[in-house]
Amino acid sequence: MSTRKFRTALFIAWRHLFSKKKHSLVNIIAIISALGVMAGAAALIIVLSAYNGLEQLVEDSFNNFNPDFKITAKEGKSFDVSTFPIEKLQKLQGVKAAEQVVSDMVLIEYADKQYLINLKGVEETYVEHLVERKKDLLIDGSFAFSADTTQWSEEQSVLWESGDYGVMGSRAAGTLRLNLNSPELIKLYYPQRKHKALARERDLLKRYLVPGGVFESQTEYDDKFLFCSIDFARSLMSYDQEVTSVEVFLHDPKQADKLQKQVQEMVGEKFEVKNRYEQEDLLFKTMKTEKIVIFVILAFILLIAIFNIIGTLAMMIIEKRDDTIELNYLGADKSLIRRIFVLEGMIISFCGGLVGMLLGWLICILQTTLHLVKIGGGNSGYIIDYYPIKMEMMDFFIVFATIFLISLLASLLPTIRLNLKSQTHES
């Protein structure tokens, strides 16, 4: 289509669309079609932005708790740290610290209640990095992993010699009704590495931890983790110099993509280096899949709204039959007449779509500033009491492209039928 023909078709389509109709019902149907597209476009922008906000909230929560890189052996549960280039890794530009970690599932018992939890043995410097990222991580007690045992009773001293403390996630602590002021100790059971049978209690190693603190990360880790010193974890799991992972913290987390390749080359092919997103791969993939499913559902609703244009154009074609005959006498060919009606349908869709996108943008701005829609009525106990919003330019582009493609298809259908009728009359 040449520019001149397009401008001519657009001019006539605009005049046709906004000219006075013989039947007001045509105008009403056109307005209803535009309102349907407007509602669909606004819903898409609002829902996608809300999903982006929730995804960002979850991402920030996990990023405050997870290390920038987690390095594990591709084969086996643990590896000897003496053969690992940890000192070289710590000297890599951009790396703040490389921490040794010993972690595995253990059975714990507290006040006649049992719980399966991930025991994570770390150095106290590891905790400092976590607290630096999330100041309010600790909600009760202390992150110290050892204490002076001179204040203990004789019974406690017999049970516990080293005075190691544990810091438990808030949800796990709530389930066990953990009391930091109680003399009750946390019993930990772990299978002895050389014993194949686990039917008897003597096949399990048993250790004790003093409940020293409770942390809250606002993630699923709150019911999964119990922190302790790395020496205690090694003692329980019968490790010498082995670790289950080396976790890396960076000075600038934004450099993670750049440094990940360097770290992988440094540690070799026997190890796997995961960034923050890869550590929660299933979670983020699930969230993205849910977003796509919601988009498809709303796009289908938008499809139904836009397909009302088929009926609108059909009525316009009938009403403007005399005008099309006059245009044909004036030299307009069938392709030009068809383009006119296609552009009329596109104008209806674009008017509704653009107004809907603007409306969606305004509602998102209001939600961001005034927090109009609350989560659970504002008394839910979540990290925030309102639905977070994060608008992305790509979402606006995708919504616009969706409206364009669907409206083009919906506008072409009745005009193709018009062309076939014209050929039938001529024959």
Q: What is the mean pLDDT of each run of 10 residues along the chain (427 residues)?
A: 74 75 72 91 95 88 88 94 93 95 96 95 93 90 75 53 83 95 91 67 85 91 95 94 96 92 95 94 89 92 85 79 73 80 89 95 95 72 82 95 92 69 42
- The domain of 38 spans 3-62+284-426
Residues 241, 292 within the same domain: no
Which one of 276, 311, 337 terminates a domain? Answer: 276
Residues 340, 400 within the same domain: yes
What pTM, to 2 d.p., does this model score?
0.77
Which one of 276, 309, 333 terminates a domain? Answer: 276
Residue 72 pairs in a beta bridge with: 272
pLDDT digits (tens, 9 = 90+) for 46-63: 999 999 998 888 888 887
Residues 44, 157 within the same domain: no
Residues 58, 87 within the same domain: no
Residues 190, 339 within the same domain: no
List, in sequence order, the alpha helices (H) in 99-229: 124-133, 154-159, 170-176
Residues 34, 140 within the same domain: no
Residues 141, 246 within the same domain: yes
Number of domains in the chain: 2
Which one of 245, 276, 307 terminates a domain? Answer: 276
Residues 75, 159 within the same domain: yes
Residues 73, 153 within the same domain: yes
> What's residue 418's pLDDT?
58
Are 370 and 389 in contact by the 8 Å Cβ rule? The answer is no
pLDDT digits (tens, 9 = 90+) for 111-151: 889 999 999 999 989 999 999 988 889 999 999 887 655 55
162: nearest Cα among 172, 174, 175, 152: 152
Q: Which residues of 386-412 are buried (b: 16+ CB within 10 A; e: fewer)?
A: bbbbbbeeebbebbeebbeebbeebbb
Residues 169, 221 within the same domain: yes
HSE, side-chain direction, 13 A CA sphere, residue 254: 0
Residues 53, 82 within the same domain: no
278 vs 263: CA distance, rounded Å: 15
Instruction: Give Cα separations from 299 to 31, 39, 149, 362 (angstroms).
Output: 20, 11, 65, 20
> What's residue 148's pLDDT?
56
Residues 186, 320 within the same domain: no
